[in-house]
Amino acid sequence: MRYAYAIATKRKSNRGRPAKRQTAATASRARRRRPANKGRQYPAEILTPGEVRALIRACSNRAPTGIRNRALLVLLYRAGCRISEALRLLSKDLDRAAGTATVLRGKGGTRRTIGLDPGAFAVVERWLDVRAKLGISSRAPIICTLKGKPVASAYVRALMPRLARRAGIDKRVHAHGLRHTHAAELALEGHPMNLIQAQLGHASLATTSRYLAHIAPAQLIQAMRARTWSP
C-alpha cells in the first residue's frame, strides 16, 4: 500500500511537467533553426561593381539553378530588395515597360513600387524563360526551385559565401550586403535622399540617413579626397 501510494503521489507531482527527453529535443530543434550569427553585429562591407560582377559570374550561365541564382543576385543588388521581398516576388509583380517591380509585402506589411533597370530585367527575364520551358507555373515565386517551390532564405544564406569563395572575394558577402551596396551606389551617384528612401522602403528619412551614414559617408569621402598632400 505504501509503495502504491508513493507511485501515485510521484505521478501526481509530475503532472503538467514536460518530459526531460522532450525538453531536450525541443532545445535541439531550436538550436538547429537559429542562424549561427544570430545576435551578432558585423560592419557593413560594400562590394565594388567588379566584385558584384564576379559574384554573378560565379553562378553557372547554363545550368537552370545558376541562371536562377543570377536573377536572385540581380534583384538583391539592382532593386535593393530585402531577401524576404526578393523571395516573395511573383512574375505579375514585374512591369518591364514601366521598369518597375511591386513589393506587395515589405517590412511592416507595406507595399511599394521600386525601379529596375533594363539590364537587370534582362537577367530576370532569362530565368523566367528557362523556368517556363521547365513547365514551372507562372504562379510560383520568381525565385523558386526547379519544382516550382519557394526557395528558403537559409539556402540563400549558405549560397552567398560559397559564391564569394568561388569569385575570390575576401569580404563577408551576404544577401543584405547587396542591398547595402545598392544604397551606397545610389548615394554616390548623387540621388536625393527621398528617392533612396522610397527605393529601400524605409519608414522615414531619418532611417535612410542613419543607414547611409553607416555604409556610404559620401560627403566625408568627397571631402577627404579633395584634400591635397605631398610627402
177's enclosing H/E stretch is helix 175-188
Count of beta carbons in the 10 Å neighbourhood of residue 110:
11
Q: Which of 107, 112, 126, 157 is catalytic?
A: 107
Catalytic site residue 180?
Answer: no
Grid coordinates representing 9?
503521489
Q: Which of 70, 131, 174, 211 is catalytic?
A: 211
Catalytic site residue 82?
Answer: yes
Catalytic site residue 53?
Answer: no
Q: Which of 2, 96, 202, 227 is catalytic?
A: 202
Q: Which of 82, 88, 131, 180 is catalytic?
A: 82
- Closest by alpha carbon to 200, among 71, 114, 128? 114
CA distances from 3 to 7, 9, 178, 184 (A): 6, 10, 68, 74
Catalytic site residue 5?
Answer: no
- In Å, the largest CA–CA distance within the chain is 98
- Closest by alpha carbon to 208, among 48, 80, 83, 50? 80
Catalytic site residue 174?
Answer: no
CB distance 81 to 73 below 8 Å: no
Three-state secondary structure call for residue 114: strand
Task: List all residues 6 or more positions away from 148 whose beta carbon is below 8 Å from its beta carbon.
Answer: 131, 136, 137, 140
Q: Which of 88, 174, 179, 180 is catalytic?
A: 179
Catalytic site residue 202?
Answer: yes
117 vs 100: CA distance, rounded Å: 8
Q: Which of 112, 126, 172, 176 is catalytic?
A: 176
Residues catalogued as catalytic = 82, 107, 176, 179, 202, 211
